[in-house]
């Protein structure tokens, strides 16, 4: 497996770990029979954790598709790997800014992550200029 493919797996792990601590630490108020109970997420910190989790789920399909498309279309693997690592770093920082209630920085990081993702997606198109 390539580094970028491991990053795809890392993106799944990242969006899962954004919510698990809130459920684990909120054990007295968390009911696994009703995992989407809005009352549990009334706490602002838990709500931001849920928001980061949901945004990770939303960002994942484009990232996975971009990596696979770039690899299938023989874009330079070292660039795919480097951009995938960078995307994962930016997404981790995004999670911290989301949970830490830093909306402006969070929006900047989201935009940067989307730009990185778009670059991965278009690597096959621009590969001739990168050689």
Q: Residue ranges of the domains in the chain?
A: 3-25+43-130
Distance CA 106, CA 20 (A): 21
pLDDT at position 99, please? 94
Distance CA 47, CA 40 (A): 9
Report residue 4 as tokens: 């970028």
Each residue's pLDDT expressed in tens, for the chain with a length of 131 residues: 999 999 999 999 999 999 888 887 766 777 777 878 888 888 888 899 999 999 999 999 999 999 999 999 989 999 999 999 999 999 999 999 999 999 999 999 999 999 999 999 999 988 777 66
Report residue 50 as tokens: 């849920």
The backbone torsions φ and ψ at residue 12, rounded to the nearest 5 degrees and listed phi first, read -65, -45
What dotted CATH number matches 3-25+43-130? Answer: 1.20.120.550
**pTM of the entire predicted model:** 0.90
């Amino acid at each position: 497996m390539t580094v970028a493919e491991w990053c795809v797996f890392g993106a799944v792990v990242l969006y899962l770990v954004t919510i698990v601590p809130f459920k684990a630490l909120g054990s007295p108020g968390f009911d696994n029979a009703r995992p989407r109970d809005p009352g549990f997420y009334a706490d602002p910190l838990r709500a931001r954790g849920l928001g980061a989790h949901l945004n990770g789920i939303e960002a994942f399909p484009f990232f996975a598709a971009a990596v696979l498309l770039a690899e299938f279309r023989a874009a330079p693997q070292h660039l795919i790997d480097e951009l995938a690592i960078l995307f994962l770093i930016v997404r981790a920082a995004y999670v911290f800014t989301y949970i830490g209630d830093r909306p402006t920085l969070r929006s900047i990081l989201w935009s940067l992550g989307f730009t990185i993702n778009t670059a991965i997606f278009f690597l096959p198109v621009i590969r001739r200029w990168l050689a």
